[in-house]
Amino acid sequence: MTRNQTLADRARQVMPGGVSHELRYRAPHPIYIDHALGAEKWDVEGKRYIDFKLGAASQILGNSCPEVMQAVAEQLTKTPYTGDCHALEIEWAEWIARLYPSADLVRFTGSGTESTMLALRLGRAWSGKDKVLRIDGHFHGWHDMLIKGAKPGTNTAPSLGVPTAITDLTVVAPPSVDAIAALLDQDDDIGTIFVEASGANYGSVPLPDGFLSGIRDLATTRGKVLIFDEVITGFRWAPGGRQARDGVTPDITTLAKVVTGGLPGGAICGRRDIMELLDPGKPRDGLAPPVSHKGTFNAAPMVAAGAIAAMKLLSTGDVQKQADAMAARLRDGINACFTNRGMAAVAYGDSSTCHLYFGGSSIDGLTAAQIRTVPPALVNGLRNGLLERGVDFMSFTSCVTSSAHTPELVDEAIEIFDETLGELTEAGVIAP
């Protein structure tokens, strides 16, 4: 029995399904990573993988970034956490305020999910309206309030245990400004609009041209609170995220992953008048603060230290340029594989992402449900085939790159991808 199998057997005795995150589940067992560096990682059996998962898109600087590692190590000699205010959280917030157009004020959270929870609470408090409009297929964390509509093409929550009293407060809309305007006309109880700034699932379903500016104008004219989920686009699309790159500023922004330097945690930032609802020194309606928010590990010193080190690297834009170039090289190489094999498939993506669609040479005009409906045999075949050959994608049809990726690593991955396509074609999983 291999070490990966042994660990999987142990894990199943103490954790549901043997995993701590449902997307880490894999039959017959997951791989267990021992260490990682740059754009590579090694499992407990010593097998090496070219990493395009990168900590669920958190490691744009590459795994084990030396500057981040050193900053965290130095902070650990002082204290990882005491539950008090500290100077590092101020410096970290100053970096975000400097780089992000929407960041008049910043509040730190424990994760991306917590960031979207807090942003929604602020949206409801400011608007005085309970309902939130979200876009079909966009992902905003696993909590009850925004999970309805996360599975594209559905108007329900993709989980048991979510009360209808909660989901009734969520309105799911297509990515169309006109359709959203019509829904706002029909329901005056909608006060907040939530948008994944990349389009569904970090751009696997891109937003229509002009959507972000259109929804900004609509939110302004209708008096709605506009929230951009930049948990993945934040600091990846540009030092100031998608909003800085495209010149569209929301009222509130949710952040995690890259904002922490790839460490656990998150943040929100936004308009001063809305964010001041979190200020305990400015009571309203007998409440101080008007909007309550706690969190034991918010801006923990060891996370703040690593994040500051990351901000110094991310602020120049060089990190993003390198990651973008490597993603473009990967997309071009995969598309060449498809062309050479005569396959009706396409690799596409924005910034440092790469998404795959099997079923045509373009995704134009397709819905989120159409793009993300993939036969299980292809899902498992592609995922397992790549892993067996030493390439790890973030999901079966999507991945990201980092500044640590090199042309040599990307080209090696393209060769492995082509080998996997050949195997799946021979097995009849993909039509030749």
Amino acid letter for position 192: T
What is the β-pairing status of strands 345-348 and 266-270? unpaired
Closest among 106, 61, 107, 99 to 244, alpha carbons compared: 99
The per-residue pLDDT for 432 is 66
The per-residue pLDDT for 430 is 83
Q: Is the pLDDT of residue 215 over 80?
A: yes
Which class for 396: exposed (0-12), middle (13-18), buried (19 or more C-beta within 10 A)?
middle
Q: Other CB atoms closer than 10 Å to residue 9's CB: what's the count?
A: 12
Q: Is the pLDDT of residue 227 over 90?
A: yes
| Residue whose pair of structure tokens reads 């596409």 in the numeric block | 348
CA distance 198 to 270: 18
State pLDDT tens for residues 256-296.
999 999 999 999 999 999 999 999 999 999 999 999 999 99
CA distance 329 to 41: 21
Query: Which residues are paired to 196 by β-bridges?
Result: 229
CA distances from 302 to 21, 79, 423 (A): 24, 8, 45
Q: Is the pLDDT of residue 379 over 90?
A: no
The per-residue pLDDT for 429 is 86
Q: Where are the domains of the chain?
A: 31-64+317-426, 66-314
pTM over the 0.85 mark = yes
CA distance 428 to 432: 8
CA distance 390 to 367: 32
State pLDDT tens for residues 287-315.
999 999 999 999 999 999 999 999 999 99
CA distance 196 to 212: 10
One CATH from 3.30.750.24, 3.90.550.10, 3.40.640.10, 1.25.40.10 for 66-314 = 3.40.640.10
Would the CATH topology of 31-64+317-426 be identical to that of 66-314?
no
CA distances from 180 to 187, 198, 223 (A): 11, 18, 14
What does CATH list as the number for 31-64+317-426? 3.90.1150.10
